[in-house]
């Protein structure tokens, strides 16, 4: 068993690290403070191939493996968790879903521009009344000849206000329950699709999350992703992959918070010596480093299983729950090690602390991950 990254993966990590250090770090605090969407950075991510990392080259992507994808999201999030989620949504919730379930025409017309960053994608499953209970869809899609007419409200649409394409779940036959849900590829520029509001959030403030409404939005049958009634299965399959992305985002947040704490405890002196020399501080740093290493192993193994074509539902859920709780724990301790300075916006740890929280919530709360894991391990 070889735990080392190969040369290509190492070069990719260096390239993304250089990009975020030079281009994102100088503006990350201001974008967070004012909720500024990182327009230029999203374009640059597209040019660098970071928006279609694991998409096949023939479909416009970089054609890399899922471990490489996890590395990209981790490195982006180590500096800017907002960039991490913008990229994660486009890569796994949108591109992966279209590549796996789309027609050749959808791959050519819709996936290729998304994978190269010429367009941006979003994913719409959550509704005001359908969060953890994702099957409780109220949005409807009614067939009308060669079209479907979509009505309803979706919320927490990451990238929604900037997206060109949305993978949207809607009910085509309520009498069939989860088997009555169908997936669509919405072109946001078409009539009947609008942004209701952009949420004012605790963290990942530079990445926008919107509430969106569909009012008699007519989409052609060619915009259906998969078959009628396959939508819930498609959403769940997409989320399995997405959870590796969010686990990698959480890992990057934890790493960023740890590095900030490590640096601070080396220069901050109290009682005549750097505070890392106090055992209470040194042991906290040791626990941070250990938990982060364990999280990284879980994330990479889940990605590796996906690359090998092995089942990874349980592994992605384990990676997500562990990495997100590691991010929250590490960021909380990082604030504590900074003392009052950790509470100030002059230092990055308060942002990591706010950004970490959402990783325990979106793409399935920690409770849902534990539900998924417990179902998988008790199946036989
Ligand atoms: N992978 C593949 N298929 C799955 C699956 C999975 N992880 N989970 C369920 N399914 C399939 C089941 O096999 C079943 O299909 P069959 O009948 O053909 O076997 C079907 O889906 C229904 O499954 P369940 O009976 O288990 O469904 P349920 O109603 O009990 O709910 C749930 C399952 C796990 C609770 C699910 O609703 C869930 O994951 N909820 C969390 C939703 C979520 O993650 N939302 C995130 C929103 S997106 C977001 O956050 C985006 C963002 O902006 C960042």
If you take atom 29 of ligand 1, which residue's CA is the nearest one? 135
Residue from 134, 176, 181, 230 whose mutation best tests the ligand 1 pocket (most atoms within 8 A of CB): 134
Say yes or no: domain 7-120 is CATH 1.10.540.10: yes
Name the closest-CA residue to atom 18, ligand 1. 233
Q: Which of 33, 259, 363, 367 is catalytic?
A: 363
**Ligand 1 site residues, Cβ closer than 6 angstroms:** 89, 123, 125-126, 132, 134-135, 156, 158, 178, 232-233, 236-237, 239-240, 313, 362-364, 368, 371-372
Q: How far apart are CA 95 and CA 69, in angstroms?
A: 12
Q: Give distance in angstroms: CA of 322 to centre of ligand 1.
A: 19
Its pTM surpasses 0.85: yes
DSSP assignment letter at 210: E
pLDDT of residue 239: 98
**Distance from residue 232's CA to the centre of ligand 1 (Å):** 7
pLDDT of residue 1: 86
C-alpha 236 – ligand 1 centre gap (Å): 5
List the CATH code of the domain at 122-230.
2.40.110.10
Q: Where are the beta strands (DSSP E) in 10-109?
A: none
Residues of the chain with pLDDT under 70: none
- Whole-angstrom CA distances from 231 to 116, 206, 223, 255 are 25, 30, 13, 36
pLDDT for the residue numbered 380: 72
Q: How far apart are CA 358 and CA 38, in angstroms?
A: 19
Q: Compute, in angstroms, the gap from residue 378 CA to the centroid of ligand 1.
A: 17
Is 75 a residue of the active site? no
Q: Give the integer Cα–Cα distance in Å for 18 and 202.
A: 28
CA-based end-to-end distance of the chain? 29
pLDDT tens digit sequence for 186-210: 999 999 999 999 999 999 999 999 9
Q: How far is CA 170 from CA 116, 176, 347, in A?
A: 27, 13, 43
Give me the CATH topology for the region 233-378. Butyryl-CoA Dehydrogenase, subunit A; domain 3 (1.20.140)
**Every domain of the chain and the residues it spans:** 7-120, 122-230, 233-378
The beta-carbon contacts of 39-46 under 8 Å, at least 24 apart in sequence, are 39/162, 41/83, 42/83, 42/86, 42/117, 42/120, 42/162, 43/117, 44/19, 45/76, 45/83, 45/86, 45/87, 45/117, 46/116, 46/117, 46/118
Residue nearest to atom 22 of ligand 1 (CA): 178
Contact 275, 281 (CB under 8 A): yes
Length of the chain equals 380
Q: What is the pLDDT of residue 286?
A: 98
How does pLDDT run across 18-45, given as a tens digit for each residue?
A: 999 999 999 999 999 999 999 999 999 9
Q: Closest Cα to residue 159, out of 367, 356, 362?
A: 362
How far, in Å, CA of 222 to CA of 184, rounded? 9
* 90 neighbors 136 (Cβ within 8 angstroms): no
């Amino acid at each position: 068993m070889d735990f080392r990254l190969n040369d290509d993966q190492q070069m990719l990590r260096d390239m993304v690290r250089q990009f975020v250090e030079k281009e994102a770090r100088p503006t990350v605090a201001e974008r967070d403070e004012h909720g500024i969407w990182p327009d230029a950075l999203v374009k640059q991510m597209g040019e660098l191939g970071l928006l279609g990392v694991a998409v096949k080259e023939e479909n416009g992507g970089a054609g890399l493996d899922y471990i490489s994808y996890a590395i990209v999201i981790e490195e982006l999030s180590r500096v800017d968790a907002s960039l991490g989620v913008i990229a994660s949504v486009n890569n796994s919730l949108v591109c992966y879903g279209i590549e796996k379930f789309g027609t050749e025409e959808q791959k050519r017309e819709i996936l290729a521009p998304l994978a190269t960053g010429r367009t941006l994608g979003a994913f719409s499953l959550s509704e005001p009344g359908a969060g953890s209970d994702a099957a409780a869809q109220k949005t409807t899609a009614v067939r009308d000849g060669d079209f479907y007419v979509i009505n309803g409200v979706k919320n927490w649409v990451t990238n929604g206000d900037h997206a060109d394409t949305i993978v949207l779940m809607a009910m085509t036959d309520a009498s069939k329950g989860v088997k009555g849900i169908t997936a669509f590829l919405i072109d946001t520029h078409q009539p009947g699709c609008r942004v209701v509001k952009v949420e004012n959030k605790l963290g990942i403030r530079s990445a926008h999350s919107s509430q969106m409404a569909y009012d008699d939005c007519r989409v052609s049958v060619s915009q259906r992703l998969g078959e009628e009634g396959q939508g819930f299965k498609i959403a769940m399959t997409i989320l399995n992959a997405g959870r590796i992305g969010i686990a990698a985002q959480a890992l990057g947040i934890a790493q960023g918070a740890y590095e900030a704490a490590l640096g601070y405890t080396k220069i901050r002196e109290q009682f005549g010596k750097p505070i890392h020399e106090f055992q209470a501080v040194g042991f906290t740093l040791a626990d941070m480093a250990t938990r982060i290493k364990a999280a990284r192993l879980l994330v990479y193994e889940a990605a590796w299983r996906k690359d090998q074509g092995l089942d990874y539902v349980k592994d992605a859920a384990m990676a997500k729950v562990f990495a997100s709780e590691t991010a929250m724990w590490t960021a909380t301790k990082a604030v504590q090690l900074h003392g009052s300075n950790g509470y100030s916006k002059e230092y990055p740890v308060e942002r990591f602390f706010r950004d970490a929280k959402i990783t325990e919530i979106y793409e399935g709360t920690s409770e849902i991950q534990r539900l998924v894991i417990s179902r998988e391990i008790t199946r036989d």
